[in-house]
């Protein structure tokens, strides 16, 4: 799916399809889930979750300039507020933070109500640059099929790699 006027392309990991109804390409927002859940295809991924992608405005890239600084910021109350959908840092409990190859990964528990009913409260998120834009990818499992930490991180890394490859990054 082309986003923000075609400047960015989002491709999906194997078994995932883009939810055409909830994605907002002109706003740089994409939702992905198992193909059988959001399309006419019947395939499902080996790790079943909900992925979102948000691509920021031009000139918002900041990870490549200092990924260690971003990782350090996310470890603070201010960073927890960034991770929280309602800006409440007390709702976020960070379990793991790491940076590698121009990507900052964070795994955390969001004790607030999930953004969509049926999602688990654990979330994996990646921050990385796509050209001049900051991009984030999130992964959440479903209450019916929680994702373990290693599987979630592997899925997140695959999603980031797929999107980077689609953009020649």
Return the pLDDT at 77: 96
Report the CATH fold assignment for 2-166: Protein Transport Mog1p; Chain A (3.40.1000)
**Cα 147-78-82 angle, rounded to 5 deg:** 45
Q: Domain segments of the chain: what residues?
A: 2-166
Q: Determine the Cα–Cα distance for residues 93 and 105; give it in Å rounded to an integer.
A: 14
Contact between 50 and 119 under an 8 Å Cβ cutoff? The reply is yes
pLDDT tens sequence across 18-31: 999 999 999 999 99
3-state secondary structure 73-124: HHCCHHHHHHHCCCCCHHHEEEEEEEEECCEEEEEEEECCCCCCCCECCEEE
Q: Would you state the structure tokens that stand for residue 132, as one six-digit string?
A: 């001049």
pLDDT tens sequence across 79-110: 999 999 989 999 999 999 999 999 999 999 99
pLDDT tens sequence across 114-158: 888 999 999 999 999 999 999 999 999 999 989 999 999 999 999
Return the pLDDT at 141: 95
């Amino acid at each position: 799916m082309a986003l923000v006027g075609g400047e960015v392309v989002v491709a999906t990991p194997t078994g995932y399809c883009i939810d055409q109804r909830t994605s907002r390409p002109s706003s740089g927002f994409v939702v992905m889930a198992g193909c059988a859940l959001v399309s006419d295809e019947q395939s499902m991924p080996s790790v079943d979750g909900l992925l979102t992608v948000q691509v920021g405005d031009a000139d918002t890239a900041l990870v490549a300039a200092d990924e260690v600084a971003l990782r350090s910021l996310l470890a603070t109350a201010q960073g927890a507020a960034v991770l929280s959908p309602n800006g409440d840092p007390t709702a976020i409990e960070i379990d793991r933070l790491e940076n590698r190859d121009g990507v900052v990964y964070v795994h955390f528990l969001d004790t607030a109500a999930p953004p969509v009913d049926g999602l688990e409260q654990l979330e994996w998120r990646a921050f990385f640059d796509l050209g001049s834009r900051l991009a984030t990818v999130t992964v959440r499992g479903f209450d019916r099929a929680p994702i373990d930490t290693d599987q979630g991180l592997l899925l997140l890394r695959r999603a980031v790699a797929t999107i980077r490859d689609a953009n020649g990054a």
